[in-house]
Structure formats: C-alpha cells, structure tokens
Structure 1
Amino acid sequence: MKIIILAMLFTTGFSTMAFPQQKKENLKVPAAVEKSFQKNHPNLKAKWEKEADKYEAGFKQNGTKTSELYTLTGALEETEVEIQIHQLPSPVSKYIAQQKLGNIKEAAKITKADGSVLYEAEVKSGDALFDAKGNFIKIQKD
C-alpha cells in the first residue's frame, strides 16, 4: 500500500512540475497575432507567452534579446529591447542608488505603439520603470 501511495505522489508531483513547460510549448497563438508578427519579422520564430489577454513574442533580432506585446487582434502594443545598463538615462542609476533598490541586473528600452519610450531596470524588488528622461514611474513586481 505504501508503494502505491508513493508512486501516486511521485506521479502527481512529476506531472505538476512538467505541466508549466508543456503549457508554454502548446500555447495556441491567435492567427491575427501570428500574422502581425510574421509581417513585422518574416522568417523569424518566437517563443510565445500569454500575458493576461495579450501575447508576448520573445526572440533575438540582430543578436539582441527582444520581445513584442500583441493584443488579441494582432495590434502591436510595445517592443522591448535589451540594452546595456550604461545606456539607461543617467537619472535612472542615480534614483536607484538613492532609493537603495540594489544593483541593476538587466536593462531594457520599451517603445510603445504611439512612439513613447520607457526604460526598465531590473532590480531586486522588481522592474523599475522610468520615462524617456529618466523620471521614476513605478516598480512592477514579477
């Protein structure tokens, strides 16, 4: 009896651990979203994730880690491109140091569909967002 219970626990634990990976691989991206992505990036493949009611395409473009966020109808909402930490506006580093948010792990430039720009600095407590001039907006928890 103990062996059966242990086998059931092992099987349940294993399938629970494997499920999130399987879910990502089997993500069904709406045709409108896939069509928009392919129009913008012919012959590129993306790793897709669902973010609330939107779809995020992760890919490398010219060797740079990039992601794009699409609505269900295929409208591009924003493009996020990884940048070097020293490419952040200088007020960003100053703010993070003054507020003791810790070291910046990664940085990104986010361009919204309307052309507005935000900067993102990944710190210990989440993603700190700044406007184009480096003024603090908020911290998003992952």
Structure 2
Amino acid sequence: MKKMLLSMALCFAMGFVASAQKTPPTAVVSAFTKKFQDVKGLEWGKEKSGEWEAEFKKNGVEMSANFSADGKWLETETGVKFADLPAAVQTALKGKKVTEAAKIVRADGATIYEAEVKNQDLLFDANGKSVSGGKE
C-alpha cells in the first residue's frame, strides 16, 4: 500500500512539474499580450535555453514568438510561402525541396529567413548568405 501511495504521489508531482513548464511567468504573458493581440490557438512551451515560446496564428498566418523568462521579447517567426522569400534566398535554395519557410525578426533588428530542408532548418540573410541560427 505504501509503495502504491508513493508511486501515485510521484506521478502527481511529475505531472505538476510538467504542467508548470507550460505556464510562463507573468512578465512573459504580459509582454506577449502587449505585443500581440487577436491571436488564435495560443500554446506555450519552454525551450532548453530557458526561453518561452508562444505558438499561435494571427490573421490565419502561423507565427511564434520567443521571450526571456523576465519578459523581454527576443524574436518573432512568421510563416511565409517560398515565393515570398527574397530572390537571393530562393536562388540559394535552388534544387532543394523546401517544406516550410519563415521570416524571423529579432530584437536587435536583424531579419533572417528560415527554410526547412530534409527536417533541417537552414538560415539566410536577405542576400542569400547562410547564417548561423543560435536557436534550438
């Protein structure tokens, strides 16, 4: 009986910790609501880096936004069609099968473009030059 109660308590505690990882701090929620309104399907996740990522749709477009634990906005990723990528990025991807594409705007003002090829994210600047991501 003791083992069963201990097992149940352990399962409950693990479930509580797992659900806590899906609830961002108040500062993060506040920063998100100030930056984004009228979103649909909002889901939160905590990345290995400690950043909080909100995934949602706005005006029918898939987006995600990352925030530090103290609520600082870090970047926003917006899904785009391949045809909407800069011409230089399209050229750099010539001959590759792109399954998803996105425009990423970072807090430092940089804009980069992401293309998923064979389950790998490739990142480019607007000139089609490959850049490192710094993302998980």
Same fold (TM over 0.5): yes
Q: Name whichever structure is richer in helix by fraction.
A: 1
Aligned partners of 1:127 and 1:141 also within 8 Å: no
Q: Name the CA shift for 1:33/1:130 in 2 (closer, same or farther; >3 Å).
A: same
Aligned to 1:68: 65
| 2:115 maps to which of 115, 121, 135 | 121
Give per-residue Cα distances to partners, 1:10-56, cap 9 Å, x unaligned.
xxxxx9xxx99x94696121111011111222464620111121000
Q: TM-score, normalised by structure 1?
A: 0.72
Q: Is the counterpart of residue 131 in structure 1 residue 128 in structure 2?
A: no
| TM value normalised by structure 2 | 0.75
Structure 1 segments of 4 or more deviating over 3 A?
Answer: 22-26, 42-45, 138-142
Separation in 1, partners of 2:120, 2:133: 6
- State whether structure 2 residue 74 is matched by structure 1 residue 80: no
Q: CA-atom RMSD, angstroms? A: 2.8
Report the CA distance between 1:90 and its aligned residue.
2.0
Q: How does 1:2-13 map to 2 (within 5 A)?
A: none
Q: How many residues align?
A: 121
Identify unmatched segments of 5+ residues in structure 1. Answer: 1-14
1:35 alignment partner in structure 2:
30
For residues 97-116 of structure 1, the aligned pairs below 5 Å read: 97=94, 102-116=96-110
- 1:58 is aligned, of 49, 55, 60, to 55
Which is bigger in relative contact order (C-alpha 8 A, separation at least 6)? 2
**Aligned position for 1:4:** none
